[in-house]
Amino acid sequence: MRNKNVGFLIIGLAIVIGVIVFLFNNALTTIVDTSCSHGTSCPMYGTIHTQTYIGIALIAIIVIIGLVLLFSKEEKQIVIKKIKEKSIDNQILKAKEQNLKLLAAEEKKVYQLIIDNKGTIFQSDLNDKSGFDKVKVTRILDRLEGKQLIQRMRRGMTNVVLLK
């Protein structure tokens, strides 16, 4: 949820709590009036006031939190981060497109398979998807690694191929 919506929700909650405190205060005053014979000098009146002040203080704190959330401007920062991330992604895509133009047909096919798999793929999956045999895929990956376009990392019995 947006901060503004949460702020309204918290302020609404504070209003509900305020109504509950008001009703509780009235009910407690009525009970003390009927049960206490000392009048206003009764110690129960002091506890009613203390409880009322504590309730009002808590409501004020909740309202302040709601107002802070209501008037905070966090959304602009999130949008800026997303725009920066998109521009970085666009730069990476342009660089990868330029790399494709410089590659041989078989290298393009393998490199495109890596891109299509979000930049990571097992070497055994490349063997299956490219239709090339193991040796040919290994040699193509050696050339791509020599051009510093990919990186291979050993994982168990196979390699994971990563875009650089």
pLDDT string in tens for the chain (164-residue length) = 577 788 888 899 999 999 999 998 888 888 888 887 776 677 777 788 888 889 999 999 999 988 888 887 755 554 445 555 566 566 666 666 666 777 888 988 888 888 888 888 999 999 999 999 999 999 999 998 888 888 898 888 888 998 87
Interaxial angle between packed helices 123-130 and 105-116, expressed in degrees from 0 to 180 and rounded to the nearest 10: 120
In DSSP notation, 42-91 reads: SHHHHHHHHHHHHHHHHHHHHHHHHHHHHH--HHHHHHHHHHHHHHHHHH
CB 2 within 8 A of CB 75: yes
CA 114, distance to chain mean position in Å, is 28
Identify the pLDDT of residue 135.
94
Report the distance separating Cα 151 and Cα 75, nearest Å.
37
Report the distance separating Cα 17 and Cα 53, nearest Å.
13
Q: How many CB atoms lie within 10 A of CB 85?
A: 10
Using DSSP's 3-state secondary structure scheme, residue 156 falls into coil
Identify the pLDDT of residue 104.
86
Report the distance separating Cα 113 and Cα 107, nearest Å.
10
Within 13 Å of residue 80, how many CA atoms lie on the same side as its CB?
5
